[in-house]
Each structure stands twice: as structure tokens, then as C-alpha cells.
Amino acid sequence: MSAADAPVAVPVEVLTDEELAILAGPGGLVVSPYLATLAEADREVALRTAYRGLLARGVVDPPTVEALAAAVGEPTVELQVREDVLSLVTLRRGAAATVCVARTTVLGQDYWYAHVVRDVVLVEQVTTDGQHRFSLAAADVLGDLLLDAVAHPETGDGTGPAIELADPAEPPDAVVEALGHALARADVVVRTADDREPELLGLFTGPGGAWVLSAAAGSGSAVVATPTTRAVLDARVHDLARRAAAVAAAVAAAAAGEAGAP
């Protein structure tokens, strides 16, 4: 794919672990790599500093007298959040499907998420120092965005038979050698509200070929390592994206039906 044909995701905001902890609250699928390294006392200082930064930038307004009164005895107080940031947080929270990717390349590690809501994708790229870069795209380019995120651009065709790994912690030498030539690794899973045993994919790609490791989470099933052509890899990634978009579309249709019901 040429640069001119590359899928477009429009940058909208950059927030830190600490800022998102204030704006979105605890929990969720997305990692907080910087906050996770802090002791409790340091975390409290970081959150207070982040709150002051959000106030200074106009992202949040101080709580009103009414909000303070309503929060008496409660652990949190409702904040007035700037509309564009509130929309971002709402999209993130309301995603019917989220494609989660942990990436490792020769340049380091990061995390990539695609939160799918109706026909919109909120892309969130997280660096190891806790910077969350958000961008928006149409759901119909999710497959291209995902492929760009998980596959080395010069990926070639893998060859050989599929190999079942009796013990993933000690793979056969042939698998170790093949995966060792990969320049990019991406661990991919699509999470939805009612998933039970989501498929876990490990994609190892580079000029020397592509390998896919797959298993169902929590099923106890064997991990299978399969050499894959670039064409098959592209098709599999696009299918994964289509399934995520289909879940989001089905949830939106169900919500619209309930809203229109008498």
C-alpha cells in the first residue's frame, strides 16, 4: 500500500495515564503502563498534579457547589469536562468491540487499541511512558488500520507446516528459529461485552515471512503456530476487523430498535 493509499486516522488528543484515570475512572481494557509503576503515595501525587494540569488547560472546570454537595460521603466528585474530550471518553467507554494489540519491534514496545462504536473507530496508541494518542477514523477502514498496526510493511510469505506447541513456553527449535527472524510481533485479541473464550493471535512478521500463533483464551486448547503467506495474513486481519465492526453494528442496531420500541 502506498503512502497516498494509507488509511487515515485523524489525530484528536493526547492524554496521560494520570489524566485518563481522572477523566475515565478505574478499570477498562486499556493498560496504564506509567501509573502501574508508581507506589500508592506517588500515584496520589501524580493524580493531583494531573488534575491541576487539566484545570490549567481548560479540559475540566472546577466542580460546582452543587456537585460538591452531592459528593459528600462519596469517593469522587462529578467534573465538568470539555465537550471534545468528554466525547472521546464517552466513545472509549461505549465501545461495543475493542481490538487490543500489544506490539514489539526493534524500536521498542507499545500498545494499540481500536474502540469501535457504530461506524466510528477511536484509535488509541499507548507508549510505555503512559502517553495515550487518540485519533478518529471510519469503521470501514478498520481492517487497513489494523493491518498497518500489526504487520511489518515488508512482510514476506512464511513456508512450512503448521506446528502444534505442546508447551508454548518451550517451543520446538524450528519455531524458535523462524520466529526469531521476525522484525515485528503483535499479540491481538478482540474483546466484546459477552466474549467467553476470545481468540488470541500472535503475529510474527518480517521480510523472512509471517507466522501466526493462535489459541482460544481460557479454553486449554493447544497453541498452533502456522506459517502464513502475506495474502492470507492480510485476509485474516481484515476478517478480524470485519467481525469487530459487525459486533458494533449489531449493538447499534439493537439499541436503535429498543429506542424505537413502544
d(CA 50, CA 60): 11
- 223-253 pLDDT per residue, tens: 888 999 999 999 999 999 999 999 998 988 8
Distances (CA, A) of 55 to 18, 51, 59: 13, 6, 6
Nearest to 183 by CA among 148, 147, 209: 209
Residues near 5 by beta carbon (within 8 Å), at least 6 away in sequence: none
In the chain, how many domains are there? Answer: 1
| pLDDT score of 58 | 93
Three-state SS at 157: coil
Sign of CA dihedral 27, 28, 32, 36: positive
Set of cell numbers at residue 81 = 469536562
Does residue 62 belong to any structural domain of this protein? yes
d(CA 185, CA 106): 10
Three-state SS at 259: helix
Amino acid at site 28: G
Q: Are 226 and 212 in contact (CB under 8 A)?
A: yes
- 38-76 pLDDT per residue, tens: 999 999 999 999 999 999 999 999 877 776 767 666 667
| H-type alpha helices, the chain | 17-24, 40-56, 65-70, 83-93, 142-150, 173-180, 230-260
> 227 pairs with which residues across the strands?
211
- pTM summary value: 0.89
Amino acid at site 253: A
Does residue 255 belong to any structural domain of this protein? no
Type and span of the H or E element at 202: strand 199-206
d(CA 3, CA 153): 11
- 11-48 pLDDT per residue, tens: 999 999 999 999 998 778 999 999 999 999 999 999 99
Does residue 224 belong to any structural domain of this protein? no
More confident call, 222 vs 37? 37
Does residue 252 belong to any structural domain of this protein? no
Does residue 1 belong to any structural domain of this protein? no
Does residue 52 belong to any structural domain of this protein? yes
Does residue 260 belong to any structural domain of this protein? no
d(CA 259, CA 240): 29
d(CA 146, CA 112): 9
Does residue 69 belong to any structural domain of this protein? yes
Q: Look up the domain containing 36 and give its range.
A: 17-81
